[in-house]
Structure 1
Amino acid sequence: MISTLGAALAPGIAILSYFYLKDKYETEPLHMVVKSFITGILLVFPVMVVQFGFQEELELGVFAQSYFLAGFLEEFFKWFMIYYTVYKHVEFNEPYDGIVYAAAVSLGFATLENFFYLLSHGLSTAFFRALLPVSSHGLFGVLMGYYLGKAKFVADPRKKRIYLGMSLGIPVLLHGTYDFILMAGSDVWPWLIIPFMVILWAVAIRRSSAALDRSIAAAFRRHYEQEEAEKI
């Protein structure tokens, strides 16, 4: 049990640490990040109940299972919790903060899913789970957080609505596509999932760097304004 728990926790903690420590200028309060991670863990249970209810009542094909049961439901629950617990919080004061908190929620969710899977299928699947399901959840969270950060700090109400829509729509689309590839068949999916994950990592790292640059610029601007105010 201890080894299974460690194997389930390790990839999520490692990926979250990478994005958390990337912000060297104004690191988010650790208790807030841990709280977001635990929120993601707790989200697994209501999502499982809702997914089970739809599976019992409806005969869903591969497309609906991928884009609705997995993509929409899981990403919507994450987005909803992030929006109402973090997005409006005073600690969300820089564009990069959205990435940290959304990644924390997503990786908390992925960690408990990973634990349940390893309990059922054994530790032999741990490496595969770390490379694909856990990291993909984290990267969906990075992109969700990137657009939440864009929405938070844009003045134009129309652009704010667009970015909020993108913060949910893009992770749903990517998550659904990921699941659809895995359900495509044993002979096909390895040739599709590898380039998908490479591109996903590349885009997530580029977006996180762009958000970090904006956060650094905002931090210097606040520091300059504070110094000017003190001179008066």
Structure 2
Amino acid sequence: MVAIEPLVLLVLALGPGVFWLWYFYHRDKYEPEPAALIVKVYLLGVLVTFPVAFVEGFVGLLIASPLIMGVIIAPIVEEYGKFTVVYRFVYRDAEFDEPMDGIVYAAAAALGLASLENVLYVLTAYVTSPTLAFETLAIRAIFSVPAHALFSSVWGYALGRAKFTAAERRPGIIFRGLALAMMLHGTFNLLLFLSDIVAYATVIFVLVLIPGLWILANRNIRIALRWQRRR
């Protein structure tokens, strides 16, 4: 394959994150959020990648198992990092005024992290060969990049529900949403890990987990949009 300029590859690697950000932004069809705030949360998602990577790297010095790191530590640290962006910087904002907003802002933060992660994976693959870089780009654009938004949409929906629920119920709703997102993220990573070892892991990944994530996200979006229409 003909060599490609790194700058062009960088733009291509950012493309999936931007596309999925556009997709989730436009799912909020009744009262879209301010574009500037969406971009802010997306960029904060990019920035939170650095402390997330630091924590994962530090824990990795203590835990030698790639399986534990990928299936337990990474999902916990990454989902909590993305959650912190939304909870700290936008949850109390006046623009966060309906459950659907939680899904949109969660997706924005998640796709910020996923975009930088995607750039690193694609550029690393490019060092080996341009062909591998494009294969990595294609696979991650379909699976890994949107998956980050799908995981985080779970706790995003929980945040949206919690904000308009009695105060004493909020911590439980948020905790369950965050825990479920971490579990789904861990399951995703586990199936990827097992796909090189167990043949049916790939089948479960493609035919069960990925459709299930989309079904759950669309279900939450439908409920959130119905809430908007009843206002």
8 Å CA contact 2:153–2:217 kept in 1: the answer is: yes
TM-score by length of 1: 0.88
Query: What 5-or-longer segments of structure 2 have no aligned partner?
Result: 1-5, 126-132
Q: Which residue, 68, 71, 87 being the options, matches 1:67?
A: 71
Q: Is the 8 A contact 2:63 2:69 kept in 1?
A: no
Aligned match of 1:31: 36
Contact 2:151/2:184, CA 8 A, preserved across alignment? yes
Query: Following the alignment from structure 1 to structure 2, what is the Cα–Cα distance between the partners of residues 110 and 89?
Result: 24
Range with greater deviation from structure 2 (16-25 or 128-137): 16-25
Give me the identity figure in percent.
Answer: 36
Task: Report the counterpart of residue 40 of structure 1 in structure 2.
Answer: 45
In 1, Cα distance between equivalents of 2:64 and 2:23: 40
In the other structure, the counterpart of 2:221 is 208
Confirm whether residue 94 of structure 1 aligns to residue 98 of structure 2: yes
Alignment of 1:161-180 (within 5 A): 161-180=171-190
The alignment status of 1:192 with 2:196, answered yes or no, reads no
Give the Cα separation in 2 of the matches to 1:139 and 1:61.
23
After superposition, the C-alpha distances for 1:36-84 in whole angstroms (9 at most, x for unaligned) are: 000111111111111111111222351x223332110110111122111
Counterpart AA for 1:190: T
Q: Secondary structure at the match of 2:90?
A: helix
Q: Secondary structure at the match of 1:183?
A: helix
Amino acid at match of 1:23: D
State the partner residue of 2:123: 119
RMSD (Å), alpha carbons: 1.4
Find the aligned partners of 2:214 and 2:189 in 1 and give their Cα distance.
17
SS in 1 for 2:194: coil
Structure-2 separation of matches of 1:24 and 1:184:
39
Cα shift at 1:102? 0.5
**Number of equivalent positions:** 216
Checking the alignment, whether the CA contact within 8 Å between 1:7 and 1:123 is kept in structure 2 is: no
Residue aligning to 1:57: 62
1:129 is matched with which residue?
Answer: 140
Q: After superposition, give the CA deviation of every residue in 1:69-100 in whole Å (9 maximum; x if it has no partner).
A: 21101101111221111111111011110011
Cα distance, 1:156–1:54 mapped onto 2, change above 3 Å: closer
Q: Deviations along 1:79-130, whole A, 9 cap, x unmatched?
A: 1221111111111011110011000000110000000000011223211011
* Separation of aligned partners in 1, 2:151 and 2:195: 23
Equivalent residues in 2 for 1:144-183, closer than 5 Å: 144-155=155-166, 157=168, 159-183=169-193
Q: Which residue type is aligned with residue 145 of structure 2?
A: V
* Structure 1 residue 142 corresponds to structure 2 residue 157: no
Amino acid in structure 2 at the alignment position of 1:66: G
- Aligned partners of 1:4 and 1:119 also within 8 Å: yes
1:79 equivalent in structure 2: 83
CA contact (8 A) 1:70 1:179 kept: no
* Aligned-partner residue type, residue 4 of structure 1: L
Runs of 4+ in 1 over 3 A off after TM superposition: none
Query: What is the Cα deviation at residue 26 of structure 1?
Result: 1.4
What are the Cα deviations for residues 105-161 of structure 1, in whole angstroms up to 9, with x where unaligned?
00110000000000011223211011111011011121121111011101251x212
1:104 aligns with 108
Contact 1:67 1:172 in 2 (8 A): no
- Once the two structures are TM-superposed, the CA of residue 216 in structure 1 deviates from its matched residue by 2.5
